[in-house]
Amino acid sequence: MPKPFRLVSTIFLHKPYLYHVHIRFILLVLLLLMVAGCQTTMTPETPRITGRALLWHGWSDGEADFLEQLVDNFSAINPETRIITIAVPQGELLAQYQASTAQGIGPDLVIGSSDWVRPLVDAGYIRPIQDDAISLDDYRSNTIAALRYQDEMWGYPMALEPVALYYNKDLVTTVPRTLDDLLLDVNEEKSIAFVPRFEEAHWGVQTFGDGLFDEDGNFTLATSGFREWLTWLNEAQSNAGVILNRDGTTLQRLFIEGKIAYYVAKPTELTTIVEAMGEDVLGVTWLPAGPEGASGPLLPVETMMLSTASTKSQAELAITLARYLTNTEQTRTLMRTLNRVPANRQVLVDSRVHPLISGFSQQARTAVTLPNDLDRQDLYTVGDLTYGNVLSGVKTPEEAVCDFGLAVIELQGYGPESYELPPGCSVESPNE
């Protein structure tokens, strides 16, 4: 069959009138292409991102350097922006943020804890996230609940921080899946250790009951499982293989030295432990279940929050940066490099590739989010006292839980319709 250009040549040489028809057709096609090209050229350009923003965080030196790299990558994509990052000691970050924002000179973004939501919102120091500025489908319901207050979202979730069960593979053959199995497994040479405070030891409450609060935020102490959990702890501490100590630093050191087989702690300790022990000997899994179900540790969420001290242009840049640092790709990068447990559930945590992160990620599925209308720090203080009174023998679990309930009711100003106390415990007749 003749090639197309030979056919055109033939038309030109032997049938001139067909040549003119062909030329008109070509001109028509060219005209249509020119029109399409003009339409593309006339399309408005995407607005450029410009301006400056200040980001505060409490990350350590190595982590801070990597965060700086991510910010530099953002600036390379958006060359007309300048992002300045400042590291503040983690223990001072909240107070410094509150003080500077009160004066109108704070950062445009701060990486903090979901525990900060209520105090910062009540003070007017952070701005809500609009529905069209975040994809809520990227997060589990308990992650969203950690940042929801007054029917609005107050930050971009970065990483999840529930406690889980670290274990030494040289000392552990089979991981116990229930509390009963745990007690049978531990002994003086193969012990479990954790800090017996409200935040760190909350994980066992749900194994014996429904938890302290229902979905509507009602205080369901009567069916919570708190009394049963404290009873179990009080009896378990007589086992030589159960170590309850408030000195978390010492417990971590003993675990690293191979003197403890199991250690309950957050993923924020993972990098330190891996560097000291190596990945081959270390395991992480979810905490043991109880008679009423899976363990339920509290779910702190590392969060990017937007300051109310920003100008409109700074606020827009802050939103763009926050969305960038919490997108799927950056979340995956933070997991691989800094051992962050992804809050974004679109990031696959393959247990074969990231077994340690996977342990925390699986634990997060049953983790508990407390209502944000609680005064968290006061609640934790009262809770710590409750654990201390029981484990030191000052009060029985029944007495301590009743005192805890009455204190929470007073702190929150709950009416009778908002709480359910255990039998024998009432607001009218508190324990002496």
Reduced to 3 states (helix: H, G, I; strand: E, B; else coil), residue 90 is: helix
Alpha carbon distance 75, 84 (integer Å):
11
- Under 8 Å between Cβ of 205 and 212: yes
Intrachain domains 51-161+301-347 and 164-297+371-418 with the same fold: yes
First to last CA, the chain: 106
Alpha carbon distance 313, 50 (integer Å):
8
Query: pLDDT 10s per residue in the chain (432 long)?
Result: 444 433 333 333 333 433 343 334 333 333 333 333 333 233 334 457 899 999 999 999 999 999 999 999 999 999 999 999 999 999 999 999 999 999 999 999 999 999 999 999 999 999 999 999 999 999 999 999 999 999 999 999 999 999 999 999 999 999 999 999 999 999 999 999 999 999 999 999 999 999 999 999 999 999 999 999 999 999 999 999 999 999 999 999 999 999 999 999 999 999 999 999 999 999 999 999 999 999 999 999 999 999 999 999 999 999 999 999 999 999 999 999 999 999 999 999 999 999 999 999 999 999 999 999 999 999 999 999 999 999 999 999 999 999 999 999 999 999 999 999 999 999 975 444
User: Which DSSP state fits 267?
Assistant: G
DSSP H or E run through 112:
strand 109-113
The CATH number of the domain covering residues in 51-161+301-347: 3.40.190.10
Burial status of residue 167 (CB atoms within 10 A of its CB: 0-12, 13-18, 19 or more):
buried
Delimit the domains of the chain by residue range.
Answer: 4-42, 51-161+301-347, 164-297+371-418
DSSP H or E run through 261:
none
Reduced to 3 states (helix: H, G, I; strand: E, B; else coil), residue 298 is: strand
Half-sphere exposure of 105 (CA within 13 A, CB side): 4
Two structure tokens written together for 221: 């102490």
Right CATH for 164-297+371-418 from 3.40.50.2300, 3.40.50.80, 3.40.190.10, 3.10.350.10: 3.40.190.10
DSSP H or E run through 162:
none
